[in-house]
Amino acid sequence: MTAIQRLTNLSASDPGFYLVALSAYIEHILNEQITAEPFEHPNFGDKLFSLKRKMADTSKEYIPELQSFNGINHDRILTNGIRHNFDSISKEEALAATHRFIQFCRLMHTAEEEALNSLSDTLKSWHDRIDLTAELKDYANLKWEAFQAQRENRELLAQLEAYQMLQGEKEQLEEDLKLTSANMAQLAQKGLKSEEKNKELRDERQNLKLRLREAETKLKDFKPIQNYTEELKRMVFYTRTRRDYEQTLLRLSAEQKEILGRIPEQGDFLITGAAGTGKTFILLEALRRDIKSRKESLLDDGSLILLSYTRTLVKYNSYISTIMHLDSRPDDLISTVDSWFLHMLQKIHPGLTVDYKTLKKLCKETDCPAFLTPLQLEAELENFIYSSGYSREQYIDDMVGRRGMKIPLSRVQREEVWRIKESLEAKMFASGLVSKGYSRTLIAASLPGAEIDRIFIDEVQDISTLELKILKSQTHKGIVMAGDTGQSIYSFQSPYKHSGIKIQGHSSVLKMNFRSTRAIMELCQNFRDDEKDLSAFREGPAPELFTAEHIQDLYSMLQKRLTFLINTLEYDPENIFILVPSYQFENKISQAVREAGFNSTTIMDRQFDFLESGKVRISTLHSSKGLDMPVVLLFLPRLEQGIKGLDEGTEDKIKKNLLYVSLTRTMDILNVFMKEKPEDELLKTVLEAFRG
What is the chain's length? 692
Distance CA 311, CA 334 (A): 10
Distance CA 466, CA 386 (A): 8
Lowest mean pLDDT: which of 73-82, 185-194, 346-355, 659-668?
185-194
Distance CA 387, CA 400 (A): 14
Distance CA 618, CA 635 (A): 10
Other beta carbons less than 10 A from residue 635's beta carbon? 25
Pairwise pLDDT comparison (213 vs 228), residue with the higher score: 213
Q: Is residue 672 predicted with pLDDT exceeding 80?
A: yes
Q: pLDDT of 54-67, one tens digit each?
A: 888 888 777 878 88
Q: Can you list the alpha helix ranges (DSSP code H) found in 34-149?
A: 44-58, 68-85, 91-108, 113-120, 124-127, 137-140
For residue 577, CA distances in Å to 135, 256, 618, 672 come to 31, 28, 6, 12
Pairwise pLDDT comparison (285 vs 189), residue with the higher score: 285
Q: pLDDT of 225-242, one tens digit each?
A: 777 777 777 777 777 776
Q: Is residue 489 predicted with pLDDT exceeding 50?
A: no
What is residue 313's predicted lDDT score, i.e. its pLDDT?
Answer: 60
Q: What is the DSSP letter of 490?
A: S
- Adjacency order of strands within the sheet including 507-510: 333-336, 303-308, 452-458, 479-483, 269-273, 507-510
Any idea of the CA torsion for 396, 400, 404, 405, to the nearest 10 degrees? 10
Confidence class for position 192, pLDDT limits 50, 70, 90: low
Helix-, strand-, coil-residue percentages of the chain, each rounded to 5: 60, 10, 30
Q: Is residue 36 predicted with pLDDT exceeding 60?
A: no
Distance CA 384, CA 646 (A): 10
Distance CA 411, CA 671 (A): 50
What percent of the chain stands above pLDDT 70? 84
Q: pTM of this prediction?
A: 0.66
**Cβ-contact 55, 63 below 8 angstroms:** yes
**Cβ-contact 621, 637 below 8 angstroms:** no
Pairwise pLDDT comparison (357 vs 256), residue with the higher score: 357
What percent of the chain stands above pLDDT 90? 31
Distance CA 675, CA 555 (A): 11
Average pLDDT, the chain: 82
What is residue 194's predicted lDDT score, i.e. its pLDDT?
Answer: 64
Residues in the annotated binding site: 273-280
> Which of 10, 254, 39 is CA-nearest to residue 122?
10
What is residue 154's predicted lDDT score, i.e. its pLDDT?
Answer: 58
Pairwise pLDDT comparison (590 vs 174), residue with the higher score: 590
Q: Of all helices (H) and strands (E), which one includes residue 674? A: strand 666-675
Residues in the annotated binding site for ATP: 273-280
